[in-house]
Amino acid sequence: MTSDVLTLVDGPLGRIRLNRPKAIHALTHAMCEAMSAALLAWRDDPAIEAVLIDHAEGRGFCAGGDVVALARSGTGDGKEAAAFFHAEYRLNHLLFTYPKPTIAIMDGITMGGGVGIALPCQVRIATENTRLAMPETGIGLFPDVGGGWYLSRLPGRVGQFMALTGARLDGAECKYLGLATHYVPQASLPELVERLSAAPARAAGAAGNFAGVPPTARIEQNLPNIARLFAGETLEEVIAALEADDGEWARTELATLRSKSPLSCKVSLRLLKEGAERASFADEMRAEYALASRVVRTHDFVEGVRALLIDKDNAPDWQPAVPEAVLDETVDDLFLDCPPGEEWTPFPETA
């Protein structure tokens, strides 16, 4: 049986390669634990100078987490889903606090959980094939794996726009927004990896040597619209602003927004508002774990996964169906802290 995660040592470079191509390398609980085990072993190994994360074959870097398995758990007691989130968020936090240079090659689809393992890395390489998104509101979830931290720190209201609509960014847009540190043509990746294995401690310089000039970032021309139309603090205010604008861009984004779970959209806006104020990434992971453990058991998450990924009828029955019917109390309950003794905890020495 082929492992879903390949770990190898290439000279002074530790390599982690996602290897689940039929699922576009979507993360499982076991994959998260395997990646963490390698990172922990290399953290204190003086022979390893840096760590590179990419995918072994097939299209896409990582399509996210195995949400179908999470939804199955959510229809029961949710314990397996909570265990997955605990392991995944430990991996995210371990990467965020890692003491050695880390490099992620975001070639192809990079969504959800894939964003969670790429954005903590110090060197983040986008290509002409990169398609980065946090599309969770379309399945009744929210932009987790640190989304509340990363998206809330993007310029203007870009983070809110991405969280609500699930907008897909190409490699040039990722570089423009700082989500990627370098833009490297896919054809140059093999030579770049060879250079990294020779001198991994100088990863940023190596990536810079192979960087190309990205095309004009399409999102740049939409920044004024995003800042103006997604300025509202509430979902109802954002929708009202889009409805009042007669431009084609606003109409398109309004149609997209109306296809998302109203509950998830409200949860996402609140997560970003609170995430902007958090003092540490560990605090973000602790809050997202409590939230995810509850959201995974909601009707909208189970229904969203059914409609988009299981039956694929693309007709989710959101409950409530409109933002005005989502009670503040419902959202408040989802944001409660975990009971004592059930909280998320980081790996030792990474707190």
Q: How far is CA 265 from the centre of its chain?
A: 16
For residue 2, pLDDT over 80 is answered with no
Tokens of 219: 């999102």
Tens digit of each residue's pLDDT (9 = 90 or more) over 16-47: 999 999 999 999 999 999 999 999 999 999 99
Q: Backbone phi, then psi, for 34, in 5-degree steps?
A: -65, -40
For residue 182, pLDDT over 80 is answered with yes
Average pLDDT (339-346) is 96
Q: Cα(137)–Cα(118) distance, rounded to whole angstroms?
A: 20
Q: Which of 1-5, 97-101, 262-266, 315-319 has the lowest mean pLDDT?
A: 1-5
By the 10 Å C-beta count (0-12 exposed, 13-18 middle, 19+ buried), 205 is classed as exposed
Instruction: Return the CATH fold of 5-334.
Output: 2-enoyl-CoA Hydratase; Chain A, domain 1 (3.90.226)
Q: Cα(199)–Cα(328) distance, rounded to whole angstroms?
A: 53
CA quadruple 218, 223, 228, 234: dihedral sign? positive
User: Which DSSP string corresponds to 13-39?
Assistant: EEEEEE--GGGTT-B-HHHHHHHHHHH
Tens digit of each residue's pLDDT (9 = 90 or more) over 232-261: 999 999 999 999 999 999 999 999 999 999
Is the separation of the CB atoms in 91 and 35 below 8 Å?
yes
**190 band by pLDDT with thresholds 50, 70 and 90:** very high
Q: Would the pTM count as exceeding 0.85?
A: yes
Q: Cα(216)–Cα(223) distance, rounded to whole angstroms?
A: 13
- Percentage with pLDDT > 90 across the chain: 97
How many angstroms separate the Cα of 59 from the Cα of each of 21, 26, 138, 318?
Answer: 7, 12, 22, 31
- Which pLDDT score is estimated for 163? 98
Tens digit of each residue's pLDDT (9 = 90 or more) over 125-149: 999 999 999 999 999 999 999 999 9
β-pair partners for 15: 8, 52
Q: Cα(275)–Cα(42) distance, rounded to whole angstroms?
A: 30
Side chain identity at 269, as an amino acid letter?
A: L
**122 band by pLDDT with thresholds 50, 70 and 90:** very high
Q: Is 304 helix (H, G, I), strand (E, B) or coil?
A: helix
Is the separation of the CB atoms in 67 and 302 below 8 Å?
no
CA quadruple 146, 205, 14, 12: dihedral sign? negative
Residues labelled catalytic: 65, 113, 136, 144
Is the separation of the CB atoms in 108 and 186 below 8 Å?
no
User: Which DSSP string corresponds to 100-138?
Assistant: S-EEEEE-SEEETHHHHHHTTSSEEEE-TT-EEE--GGG
Closest alpha carbon to 118 in 174, 77, 76: 174
Domain assignments of the chain as residue spans, ordered by start: 5-334
Q: Helices marked H in the chain — which ranges?
A: 29-43, 67-74, 79-96, 113-118, 147-150, 158-165, 171-177, 189-198, 203-210, 219-229, 235-244, 248-258, 262-275, 281-295, 299-305, 328-334
Average pLDDT (226-230) is 98
Side chain identity at 49, as an amino acid letter?
A: E
**350 band by pLDDT with thresholds 50, 70 and 90:** low
Average pLDDT, the chain: 96
Tokens of 249: 């861009």
Is the separation of the CB atoms in 65 and 27 below 8 Å?
yes
